Amino acid sequence: MEFRRVRGMRDLVAGDAERARCVEEALVDAMRSYGYEEVRLPLLEASELFSRGVGEATDIVEKEMYTFLDRGGKQLSLRPEGTASCVRAGIEQGLFHRRSRRLWYAGPMFRYERPQKGRFRQFDQVGAEVFGVAGPEAEAELVQMVWSIWDRLGIADGIALEINTVGAGRSRQAFRDALVAFLAPRADALDADSRRRLDTNPLRILDSKVPSTRALLEGAPELHDFLDDLDKVHFDEMRRLLDELRMPYRVNPRLVRGLDYYTHTVFEWVTDGVGAQDAVCAGGRYDGLVESLGGRATPAAGFAIGVDRVVLLASETQGKIDYRPVDAYWVVLDRRFMGRALDMAQRLRDSVPGLRVRTDTAGGKPAAQFRRADESGARWALIVGEDEIARDRVSVKWLREEREQAMLPFEELGAALRTTC
Ligand code: ATP
Ligand code: MG
Protein backbone atom coordinates (compact mmCIF):
# COMPACT_ATOMS: atom_id res chain seq x y z
CA MET A 1 0.00 0.00 0.00
CA GLU A 2 1.41 3.32 -1.04
CA PHE A 3 0.22 6.55 0.53
CA ARG A 4 -0.21 9.60 -1.64
CA ARG A 5 -1.00 13.11 -0.61
CA VAL A 6 -4.61 14.20 -0.82
CA ARG A 7 -5.61 16.01 -4.02
CA GLY A 8 -5.00 19.75 -3.84
CA MET A 9 -2.48 19.34 -0.99
CA ARG A 10 1.24 19.86 -1.50
CA ASP A 11 4.49 18.84 0.11
CA LEU A 12 6.83 21.79 0.08
CA VAL A 13 10.21 20.20 0.49
CA ALA A 14 13.74 21.53 0.83
CA GLY A 15 14.23 24.52 -1.47
CA ASP A 16 10.52 25.14 -2.07
CA ALA A 17 9.78 25.38 1.63
CA GLU A 18 12.81 27.60 2.17
CA ARG A 19 11.80 29.92 -0.65
CA ALA A 20 8.26 30.18 0.73
CA ARG A 21 9.76 30.99 4.12
CA CYS A 22 11.92 33.78 2.60
CA VAL A 23 8.79 35.33 1.09
CA GLU A 24 6.85 34.97 4.35
CA GLU A 25 9.68 36.58 6.28
CA ALA A 26 9.70 39.56 3.93
CA LEU A 27 5.92 39.94 4.41
CA VAL A 28 6.14 39.64 8.17
CA ASP A 29 9.06 42.09 8.40
CA ALA A 30 7.07 44.65 6.43
CA MET A 31 4.01 44.31 8.68
CA ARG A 32 6.11 44.56 11.81
CA SER A 33 7.82 47.64 10.44
CA TYR A 34 4.36 49.25 10.25
CA GLY A 35 3.65 48.41 13.89
CA TYR A 36 1.33 45.43 13.32
CA GLU A 37 1.15 42.66 15.93
CA GLU A 38 0.76 38.97 15.26
CA VAL A 39 -2.31 36.97 16.23
CA ARG A 40 -2.40 33.17 16.02
CA LEU A 41 -5.84 31.81 15.42
CA PRO A 42 -7.32 28.32 15.29
CA LEU A 43 -7.58 26.40 12.04
CA LEU A 44 -11.02 25.17 13.13
CA GLU A 45 -14.02 27.35 13.79
CA ALA A 46 -17.76 26.87 14.02
CA SER A 47 -19.03 26.72 10.42
CA GLU A 48 -21.58 29.36 11.30
CA LEU A 49 -18.78 31.92 11.76
CA PHE A 50 -17.98 31.70 8.06
CA SER A 51 -21.52 31.58 6.77
CA ARG A 52 -22.09 34.84 8.63
CA GLY A 53 -18.61 36.33 8.38
CA VAL A 54 -17.84 35.48 4.77
CA GLY A 55 -21.44 35.30 3.60
CA GLU A 56 -23.98 32.61 2.65
CA ALA A 57 -24.06 33.55 -0.99
CA THR A 58 -20.34 33.35 -1.70
CA ASP A 59 -18.37 30.68 -3.53
CA ILE A 60 -16.42 30.03 -0.36
CA VAL A 61 -19.46 29.18 1.75
CA GLU A 62 -21.59 27.65 -0.98
CA LYS A 63 -19.01 25.32 -2.49
CA GLU A 64 -15.57 25.48 -0.99
CA MET A 65 -15.62 24.78 2.73
CA TYR A 66 -14.30 21.66 4.41
CA THR A 67 -17.10 21.10 6.90
CA PHE A 68 -17.69 18.17 9.22
CA LEU A 69 -19.33 17.15 12.48
CA ASP A 70 -16.93 16.52 15.34
CA ARG A 71 -17.46 13.69 17.82
CA GLY A 72 -19.64 15.92 19.94
CA GLY A 73 -21.90 16.65 16.99
CA LYS A 74 -20.71 20.25 16.48
CA GLN A 75 -20.50 21.49 12.92
CA LEU A 76 -17.00 22.80 12.30
CA SER A 77 -15.07 24.04 9.27
CA LEU A 78 -11.41 24.30 8.42
CA ARG A 79 -10.92 28.01 8.01
CA PRO A 80 -11.19 29.18 4.39
CA GLU A 81 -9.85 32.66 5.20
CA GLY A 82 -8.59 34.66 8.15
CA THR A 83 -10.68 37.79 8.61
CA ALA A 84 -13.73 36.18 10.21
CA SER A 85 -11.55 34.40 12.80
CA CYS A 86 -9.62 37.57 13.46
CA VAL A 87 -12.81 39.50 14.16
CA ARG A 88 -14.23 36.65 16.24
CA ALA A 89 -11.07 36.58 18.35
CA GLY A 90 -10.99 40.36 18.66
CA ILE A 91 -14.54 40.41 20.01
CA GLU A 92 -14.01 37.40 22.27
CA GLN A 93 -10.73 38.74 23.68
CA GLY A 94 -11.96 42.30 24.04
CA LEU A 95 -9.37 43.75 21.67
CA PHE A 96 -11.58 46.43 20.18
CA HIS A 97 -12.50 48.44 23.26
CA ARG A 98 -11.64 52.12 23.02
CA ARG A 99 -8.52 51.74 20.94
CA SER A 100 -7.33 50.95 17.50
CA ARG A 101 -5.61 47.67 16.71
CA ARG A 102 -3.30 46.53 13.97
CA LEU A 103 -3.10 42.78 13.66
CA TRP A 104 -1.51 40.34 11.26
CA TYR A 105 -1.85 36.60 10.84
CA ALA A 106 -0.26 33.96 8.66
CA GLY A 107 -1.03 30.37 7.95
CA PRO A 108 -2.86 27.79 5.90
CA MET A 109 -6.40 28.22 4.60
CA PHE A 110 -8.55 25.45 3.13
CA ARG A 111 -10.90 25.60 0.18
CA TYR A 112 -12.34 22.74 -1.86
CA GLU A 113 -11.52 24.09 -5.32
CA ARG A 114 -10.34 22.68 -8.61
CA PRO A 115 -6.57 22.45 -8.12
CA GLN A 116 -4.41 24.07 -10.78
CA LYS A 117 -1.36 26.28 -10.99
CA GLY A 118 -1.63 28.88 -8.23
CA ARG A 119 -4.84 27.34 -6.87
CA PHE A 120 -4.68 24.68 -4.17
CA ARG A 121 -6.97 23.21 -1.55
CA GLN A 122 -4.57 24.11 1.21
CA PHE A 123 -2.78 27.40 0.61
CA ASP A 124 -1.11 30.06 2.68
CA GLN A 125 -2.28 33.54 3.34
CA VAL A 126 -0.70 36.40 5.18
CA GLY A 127 -3.19 39.05 6.16
CA ALA A 128 -3.34 42.32 8.05
CA GLU A 129 -6.34 44.02 9.64
CA VAL A 130 -6.65 47.47 11.16
CA PHE A 131 -9.53 48.09 13.55
CA GLY A 132 -10.89 51.36 14.91
CA VAL A 133 -9.83 53.74 12.13
CA ALA A 134 -12.69 55.13 10.07
CA GLY A 135 -10.86 57.42 7.66
CA PRO A 136 -9.42 56.56 4.22
CA GLU A 137 -5.88 56.93 5.56
CA ALA A 138 -6.28 53.39 6.92
CA GLU A 139 -6.75 51.93 3.44
CA ALA A 140 -4.09 54.22 1.95
CA GLU A 141 -1.54 53.02 4.45
CA LEU A 142 -2.50 49.37 3.91
CA VAL A 143 -1.91 49.88 0.21
CA GLN A 144 1.41 51.57 0.90
CA MET A 145 2.44 48.63 3.08
CA VAL A 146 1.58 46.07 0.39
CA TRP A 147 3.49 48.05 -2.24
CA SER A 148 6.50 48.06 0.05
CA ILE A 149 6.25 44.27 0.19
CA TRP A 150 6.26 43.87 -3.61
CA ASP A 151 9.16 46.29 -3.73
CA ARG A 152 11.17 44.37 -1.20
CA LEU A 153 10.57 41.13 -3.10
CA GLY A 154 11.54 42.78 -6.38
CA ILE A 155 8.20 41.99 -8.07
CA ALA A 156 6.49 45.42 -8.03
CA ASP A 157 6.83 45.74 -11.82
CA GLY A 158 4.80 42.59 -12.44
CA ILE A 159 1.82 43.64 -10.33
CA ALA A 160 -0.94 46.20 -10.83
CA LEU A 161 -3.25 47.70 -8.24
CA GLU A 162 -6.97 48.05 -8.93
CA ILE A 163 -9.21 49.99 -6.60
CA ASN A 164 -12.88 50.82 -6.36
CA THR A 165 -15.45 52.05 -3.91
CA VAL A 166 -18.63 50.14 -3.14
CA GLY A 167 -20.09 53.05 -1.17
CA ALA A 168 -21.88 52.51 2.08
CA GLY A 169 -25.33 52.44 3.60
CA ARG A 170 -28.13 54.01 1.60
CA SER A 171 -26.27 54.58 -1.65
CA ARG A 172 -25.37 50.91 -1.77
CA GLN A 173 -28.96 49.90 -1.08
CA ALA A 174 -30.22 52.18 -3.85
CA PHE A 175 -27.73 50.73 -6.31
CA ARG A 176 -28.59 47.19 -5.26
CA ASP A 177 -32.27 47.87 -5.93
CA ALA A 178 -31.50 49.41 -9.32
CA LEU A 179 -29.29 46.47 -10.27
CA VAL A 180 -31.98 43.96 -9.35
CA ALA A 181 -34.58 46.00 -11.26
CA PHE A 182 -32.32 45.86 -14.32
CA LEU A 183 -31.39 42.18 -14.06
CA ALA A 184 -34.66 40.60 -12.91
CA PRO A 185 -36.44 40.92 -16.29
CA ARG A 186 -33.28 39.54 -17.94
CA ALA A 187 -32.78 36.69 -15.46
CA ASP A 188 -33.07 34.03 -18.18
CA ALA A 189 -29.86 35.30 -19.74
CA LEU A 190 -27.89 34.98 -16.51
CA ASP A 191 -25.74 31.98 -15.59
CA ALA A 192 -27.18 29.74 -12.87
CA ASP A 193 -25.01 31.07 -10.01
CA SER A 194 -25.83 34.65 -10.87
CA ARG A 195 -29.56 33.90 -11.18
CA ARG A 196 -29.53 32.48 -7.67
CA ARG A 197 -27.62 35.48 -6.38
CA LEU A 198 -30.20 37.85 -7.75
CA ASP A 199 -32.12 37.15 -4.53
CA THR A 200 -29.32 36.49 -2.11
CA ASN A 201 -26.37 38.66 -3.12
CA PRO A 202 -26.92 40.63 -6.32
CA LEU A 203 -23.77 42.77 -6.01
CA ARG A 204 -21.72 39.64 -6.33
CA ILE A 205 -23.06 39.16 -9.85
CA LEU A 206 -20.83 42.06 -10.94
CA ASP A 207 -17.89 39.83 -10.11
CA SER A 208 -19.04 37.01 -12.41
CA LYS A 209 -16.49 35.67 -14.86
CA VAL A 210 -19.09 34.05 -17.14
CA PRO A 211 -18.88 35.82 -20.54
CA SER A 212 -22.63 35.92 -21.24
CA THR A 213 -23.28 37.44 -17.82
CA ARG A 214 -20.49 39.94 -18.34
CA ALA A 215 -22.02 40.94 -21.66
CA LEU A 216 -25.40 41.48 -20.04
CA LEU A 217 -23.79 43.66 -17.37
CA GLU A 218 -22.48 46.07 -20.01
CA GLY A 219 -25.78 47.91 -19.94
CA ALA A 220 -26.37 47.66 -16.18
CA PRO A 221 -26.52 50.67 -13.88
CA GLU A 222 -23.16 51.86 -12.55
CA LEU A 223 -22.54 51.95 -8.85
CA HIS A 224 -20.60 55.17 -9.19
CA ASP A 225 -23.75 57.01 -10.25
CA PHE A 226 -25.35 56.15 -6.91
CA LEU A 227 -22.61 57.29 -4.56
CA ASP A 228 -23.52 60.06 -2.15
CA ASP A 229 -21.26 62.91 -1.06
CA LEU A 230 -19.82 61.06 1.92
CA ASP A 231 -18.90 58.05 -0.24
CA LYS A 232 -17.24 60.34 -2.77
CA VAL A 233 -15.28 62.27 -0.17
CA HIS A 234 -13.94 59.01 1.27
CA PHE A 235 -12.90 57.66 -2.12
CA ASP A 236 -11.45 60.96 -3.34
CA GLU A 237 -9.43 61.38 -0.19
CA MET A 238 -8.09 57.85 -0.48
CA ARG A 239 -7.07 58.50 -4.08
CA ARG A 240 -5.50 61.82 -3.15
CA LEU A 241 -3.34 60.04 -0.57
CA LEU A 242 -2.31 57.34 -3.06
CA ASP A 243 -1.40 60.05 -5.57
CA GLU A 244 0.63 61.89 -2.99
CA LEU A 245 2.46 58.66 -2.20
CA ARG A 246 3.00 58.13 -5.95
CA MET A 247 1.30 54.72 -5.84
CA PRO A 248 0.14 53.70 -9.31
CA TYR A 249 -3.41 52.29 -9.52
CA ARG A 250 -6.35 51.87 -11.84
CA VAL A 251 -9.98 52.41 -10.87
CA ASN A 252 -11.95 49.31 -11.82
CA PRO A 253 -15.68 50.00 -11.40
CA ARG A 254 -16.45 46.26 -11.66
CA LEU A 255 -14.37 45.37 -8.62
CA VAL A 256 -16.76 44.45 -5.81
CA ARG A 257 -17.04 42.64 -2.56
CA GLY A 258 -20.61 41.55 -2.60
CA LEU A 259 -21.53 41.67 1.06
CA ASP A 260 -23.33 44.25 3.09
CA TYR A 261 -20.59 44.76 5.60
CA TYR A 262 -18.07 45.83 2.96
CA THR A 263 -17.97 49.59 2.73
CA HIS A 264 -16.13 52.17 0.69
CA THR A 265 -12.76 51.01 -0.56
CA VAL A 266 -12.00 47.66 -2.17
CA PHE A 267 -8.70 46.82 -3.78
CA GLU A 268 -6.93 43.97 -5.48
CA TRP A 269 -3.45 43.39 -6.87
CA VAL A 270 -3.40 41.50 -10.14
CA THR A 271 -0.66 40.00 -12.26
CA ASP A 272 -0.37 37.90 -15.37
CA GLY A 273 2.57 36.00 -13.92
CA VAL A 274 0.70 33.11 -12.23
CA GLY A 275 -1.05 31.34 -15.10
CA ALA A 276 -4.80 31.85 -15.04
CA GLN A 277 -4.84 32.98 -11.42
CA ASP A 278 -4.46 36.71 -11.45
CA ALA A 279 -5.11 37.97 -7.92
CA VAL A 280 -2.22 38.00 -5.48
CA CYS A 281 -3.78 40.18 -2.81
CA ALA A 282 -7.27 41.41 -2.06
CA GLY A 283 -8.68 43.66 0.58
CA GLY A 284 -10.77 46.61 1.54
CA ARG A 285 -12.83 48.26 4.21
CA TYR A 286 -15.47 46.27 6.08
CA ASP A 287 -17.02 48.60 8.61
CA GLY A 288 -20.06 46.38 9.18
CA LEU A 289 -18.38 43.06 9.97
CA VAL A 290 -17.56 43.41 13.66
CA GLU A 291 -21.14 44.33 14.45
CA SER A 292 -22.58 41.59 12.27
CA LEU A 293 -20.51 39.05 14.21
CA GLY A 294 -21.86 40.31 17.52
CA GLY A 295 -19.36 43.01 18.53
CA ARG A 296 -19.76 46.73 18.99
CA ALA A 297 -19.71 48.63 15.68
CA THR A 298 -16.02 49.06 14.82
CA PRO A 299 -14.60 50.42 11.58
CA ALA A 300 -12.10 48.04 10.00
CA ALA A 301 -10.02 47.43 6.90
CA GLY A 302 -7.56 44.79 5.82
CA PHE A 303 -6.14 42.55 3.13
CA ALA A 304 -5.01 39.00 2.51
CA ILE A 305 -2.04 38.03 0.36
CA GLY A 306 -1.90 34.65 -1.39
CA VAL A 307 1.61 33.63 -0.37
CA ASP A 308 1.87 30.71 -2.80
CA ARG A 309 1.08 32.94 -5.76
CA VAL A 310 3.65 35.48 -4.61
CA VAL A 311 6.25 32.72 -4.37
CA LEU A 312 5.40 31.56 -7.89
CA LEU A 313 5.58 35.10 -9.21
CA ALA A 314 8.83 35.90 -7.46
CA SER A 315 10.44 32.68 -8.71
CA GLU A 316 9.24 33.23 -12.25
CA THR A 317 9.79 36.92 -12.79
CA GLN A 318 13.30 36.77 -11.43
CA GLY A 319 15.42 34.51 -9.31
CA LYS A 320 15.20 37.15 -6.61
CA ILE A 321 14.52 34.59 -3.90
CA ASP A 322 18.17 33.99 -3.32
CA TYR A 323 18.24 30.88 -1.26
CA ARG A 324 21.20 28.75 -0.17
CA PRO A 325 20.92 26.21 2.65
CA VAL A 326 24.59 26.49 3.58
CA ASP A 327 27.16 29.28 3.50
CA ALA A 328 30.12 27.65 5.20
CA TYR A 329 30.86 23.91 5.26
CA TRP A 330 33.33 22.44 7.73
CA VAL A 331 35.46 19.65 6.33
CA VAL A 332 37.05 17.62 9.11
CA LEU A 333 40.09 15.79 7.74
CA ASP A 334 40.58 13.65 10.83
CA ARG A 335 37.81 12.51 13.18
CA ARG A 336 40.07 13.31 16.14
CA PHE A 337 39.38 16.98 15.47
CA MET A 338 35.60 16.64 15.38
CA GLY A 339 35.10 18.19 18.82
CA ARG A 340 37.23 21.19 17.82
CA ALA A 341 35.34 21.56 14.54
CA LEU A 342 31.90 21.42 16.18
CA ASP A 343 33.03 23.99 18.72
CA MET A 344 34.46 26.38 16.13
CA ALA A 345 31.36 25.99 13.97
CA GLN A 346 29.20 27.11 16.87
CA ARG A 347 31.48 30.05 17.67
CA LEU A 348 31.35 31.09 14.03
CA ARG A 349 27.51 31.02 14.12
CA ASP A 350 27.61 33.18 17.25
CA SER A 351 29.97 35.72 15.73
CA VAL A 352 28.23 36.03 12.32
CA PRO A 353 24.47 36.06 12.94
CA GLY A 354 22.49 34.59 10.06
CA LEU A 355 25.44 32.65 8.66
CA ARG A 356 24.46 29.11 7.75
CA VAL A 357 27.13 26.73 8.92
CA ARG A 358 27.15 22.98 8.43
CA THR A 359 29.75 20.58 9.79
CA ASP A 360 30.42 17.37 7.89
CA THR A 361 29.39 14.72 10.40
CA ALA A 362 29.04 11.97 7.83
CA GLY A 363 32.81 11.57 7.64
CA GLY A 364 34.71 9.56 5.08
CA LYS A 365 37.51 10.55 2.74
CA PRO A 366 38.32 14.25 2.21
CA ALA A 367 37.26 13.96 -1.44
CA ALA A 368 33.80 12.79 -0.36
CA GLN A 369 33.53 15.64 2.12
CA PHE A 370 34.58 18.23 -0.47
CA ARG A 371 32.04 16.79 -2.88
CA ARG A 372 29.28 17.18 -0.28
CA ALA A 373 30.52 20.69 0.50
CA ASP A 374 30.17 21.56 -3.16
CA GLU A 375 26.73 19.94 -3.50
CA SER A 376 25.46 21.83 -0.45
CA GLY A 377 25.82 25.09 -2.37
CA ALA A 378 28.20 26.49 0.26
CA ARG A 379 30.52 29.31 -0.71
CA TRP A 380 33.31 28.28 1.56
CA ALA A 381 34.81 25.03 2.75
CA LEU A 382 36.45 25.50 6.15
CA ILE A 383 39.08 22.86 6.69
CA VAL A 384 40.48 21.43 9.93
CA GLY A 385 43.33 18.94 9.70
CA GLU A 386 46.63 18.12 11.29
CA ASP A 387 48.35 21.22 9.90
CA GLU A 388 45.60 23.61 10.89
CA ILE A 389 45.44 22.29 14.44
CA ALA A 390 49.22 22.47 14.83
CA ARG A 391 49.23 26.11 13.72
CA ASP A 392 45.93 26.98 15.47
CA ARG A 393 44.38 28.09 12.20
CA VAL A 394 41.62 27.20 9.77
CA SER A 395 41.97 26.80 6.01
CA VAL A 396 39.41 28.53 3.82
CA LYS A 397 38.70 27.22 0.37
CA TRP A 398 36.52 29.42 -1.87
CA LEU A 399 34.14 27.09 -3.67
CA ARG A 400 32.52 29.61 -6.04
CA GLU A 401 35.41 31.92 -6.86
CA GLU A 402 38.84 31.59 -8.38
CA ARG A 403 40.80 32.39 -5.31
CA GLU A 404 43.82 30.98 -3.55
CA GLN A 405 43.09 28.84 -0.49
CA ALA A 406 44.13 30.67 2.73
CA MET A 407 44.97 29.66 6.26
CA LEU A 408 43.58 32.11 8.83
CA PRO A 409 43.40 32.39 12.60
CA PHE A 410 39.86 31.52 13.74
CA GLU A 411 39.34 35.13 14.94
CA GLU A 412 39.76 36.46 11.39
CA LEU A 413 37.34 34.00 9.86
CA GLY A 414 34.15 35.96 10.50
CA ALA A 415 35.49 39.06 8.77
CA ALA A 416 36.68 36.99 5.80
CA LEU A 417 33.26 35.43 5.22
CA ARG A 418 31.05 38.28 4.12
CA THR A 419 27.65 36.83 3.46
CA THR A 420 24.66 38.20 1.61
CA CYS A 421 21.72 36.14 2.95
P1 ATP B 1 -9.78 33.91 -6.64
O2 ATP B 1 -10.65 34.85 -7.41
O3 ATP B 1 -8.43 33.70 -7.26
O4 ATP B 1 -10.48 32.63 -6.28
P5 ATP B 1 -10.54 34.93 -4.09
O6 ATP B 1 -11.31 36.16 -4.36
O7 ATP B 1 -11.27 33.68 -3.76
O8 ATP B 1 -9.47 34.66 -5.25
P9 ATP B 1 -9.61 35.92 -1.52
O10 ATP B 1 -10.61 35.19 -0.75
O11 ATP B 1 -9.77 37.39 -1.70
O12 ATP B 1 -9.45 35.23 -2.95
O13 ATP B 1 -8.16 35.56 -0.94
C14 ATP B 1 -7.03 36.46 -1.01
C15 ATP B 1 -5.92 35.86 -1.84
O16 ATP B 1 -5.65 34.51 -1.48
C17 ATP B 1 -6.20 35.79 -3.32
O18 ATP B 1 -5.95 37.02 -3.93
C19 ATP B 1 -5.22 34.73 -3.79
O20 ATP B 1 -3.94 35.28 -3.99
C21 ATP B 1 -5.16 33.79 -2.61
N22 ATP B 1 -5.97 32.59 -2.86
C23 ATP B 1 -7.31 32.46 -2.79
N24 ATP B 1 -7.69 31.20 -3.04
C25 ATP B 1 -6.55 30.49 -3.29
C26 ATP B 1 -6.28 29.11 -3.60
N27 ATP B 1 -7.24 28.19 -3.69
N28 ATP B 1 -4.97 28.74 -3.78
C29 ATP B 1 -3.97 29.65 -3.67
N30 ATP B 1 -4.17 30.95 -3.38
C31 ATP B 1 -5.44 31.37 -3.18
MG1 MG C 1 -11.86 32.02 -4.85
Q: How far is the centre of ligand 2, averaged over its atoms, from the C-alpha of 113 (Å)?
A: 8
How buried is residue 73: exposed, middle or buried, by Cβ count under 10 Å (0-12/13-18/19+)?
Answer: exposed
What's the rounded Cα separation, in Å, for the pair 161 and 282?
Answer: 10
Q: What is residue 350's predicted lDDT score, i.e. its pLDDT?
A: 93
Question: For residue 39, what pLDDT band results from cuts at 50, 70 and 90?
Answer: very high
2-22 pLDDT tens trace: 999 999 999 999 888 988 998
What's the rounded Cα separation, in Å, for the pair 63 and 48?
Answer: 15
Residues 297 and 372 grouped into a single domain? no
**207 domain-assigned:** no
Q: What is residue 207's predicted lDDT score, i.e. its pLDDT?
A: 82
**266 domain-assigned:** yes
Q: How far is the centre of ligand 2, averaged over its atoms, from the C-alpha of 349 (Å)?
A: 44
187-226 pLDDT tens trace: 999 999 899 989 888 888 988 889 999 999 999 998 889 9
**What residue's CA is closest to ligand 1, atom 8?**
279
**263 domain-assigned:** yes
Tell me the average pLDDT across 378-405: 94
Residues 339 and 300 grouped into a single domain? no
Q: What is residue 421's predicted lDDT score, i.e. its pLDDT?
A: 37
How buried is residue 244: exposed, middle or buried, by Cβ count under 10 Å (0-12/13-18/19+)?
Answer: exposed
| Sheet with strand 37-38: strands edge to edge | 37-38, 101-110, 122-131, 300-306, 279-285, 263-270, 160-165, 250-251
**What residue's CA is closest to ligand 1, atom 26?**
119
Domain boundary among 290, 316, 342: 316
| Sheet with strand 44-46: strands edge to edge | 44-46, 75-78, 67-69
Ligand approaching nearest to the C-alpha of 54: 1
Percent of residues, the chain, with pLDDT higher than 70: 97
Q: What is the DSSP letter of 60?
A: I
243-287 pLDDT tens trace: 999 999 999 988 887 666 789 999 999 998 787 778 999 999 999
Residues 27 and 128 grouped into a single domain? yes
**What residue's CA is closest to ligand 1, atom 2?**
279
Decide if pLDDT at 317 tops 80.
no
Residues 289 and 346 grouped into a single domain? no
Residues 114 and 27 grouped into a single domain? yes
What is the CATH classification number for the domain harbouring 392? 3.40.50.800
Residues having CB closer than 6 A to ligand 1 are: 81, 111, 113, 118-120, 123, 125, 277, 279-282, 304, 306, 308-309
**338 domain-assigned:** yes
Ligand approaching nearest to the C-alpha of 8: 1
- Report the number of distinct structural domains present in the chain: 2
Mutate to test the pocket of ligand 1, among 23, 112, 123 (most ligand atoms within 8 A of CB): 123
**183 domain-assigned:** no
Domain boundary among 316, 345, 367: 316
**What residue's CA is closest to ligand 1, atom 1?**
279
Question: For residue 319, what pLDDT band results from cuts at 50, 70 and 90?
Answer: low
Domain boundary among 316, 341, 375: 316
Residues 20 and 118 grouped into a single domain? yes
**55 domain-assigned:** yes
**What residue's CA is closest to ligand 1, atom 16?**
306
Q: How far is the centre of ligand 2, averaged over its atoms, from the C-alpha of 392 (Å)?
A: 61
Number of Cβ atoms within 10 Å of the Cβ of 101: 19
What's the rounded Cα separation, in Å, for the pair 278 and 264?
Answer: 23
Q: What is residue 325's predicted lDDT score, i.e. its pLDDT?
A: 87
Mutate to test the pocket of ligand 1, among 119, 207, 274, 280 (most ligand atoms within 8 A of CB): 119
What's the rounded Cα separation, in Å, for the pair 210 and 45?
Answer: 32
Looking from the CA of residue 269, the nearest atom of ligand 1 is 18
Q: In one letter, which amino acid is 159?
A: I
**213 domain-assigned:** no
Between 394 and 56, the more confident residue is 394
Q: Return mean pLDDT, the chain.
A: 92
62-79 pLDDT tens trace: 899 999 999 999 999 999
Residues 24 and 160 grouped into a single domain? yes
Residues 251 and 104 grouped into a single domain? yes
What is the CATH classification number for the domain harbouring 307? 3.30.930.10
Residues 126 and 244 grouped into a single domain? yes
What's the rounded Cα separation, in Å, for the pair 383 and 71?
Answer: 58
Q: How far is the centre of ligand 1, averaged over its atoms, from the C-alpha of 7 (Å)?
A: 18
Residues 274 and 337 grouped into a single domain? no
Q: Are strands 75-78 and 67-69 parallel, antiparallel or unpaired?
A: antiparallel
pTM of the predicted structure, to 2 decimals? 0.90
**280 domain-assigned:** yes
What's the rounded Cα separation, in Å, for the pair 296 and 293?
Answer: 9
Tell me the average pLDDT across 374-397: 95
Tell me the average pLDDT across 110-137: 96
Structural domain that includes position 394? 328-420
Residues 33 and 129 grouped into a single domain? yes
Ligand approaching nearest to the C-alpha of 209: 1
Residues 231 and 127 grouped into a single domain? yes
Ligand approaching nearest to the C-alpha of 277: 1
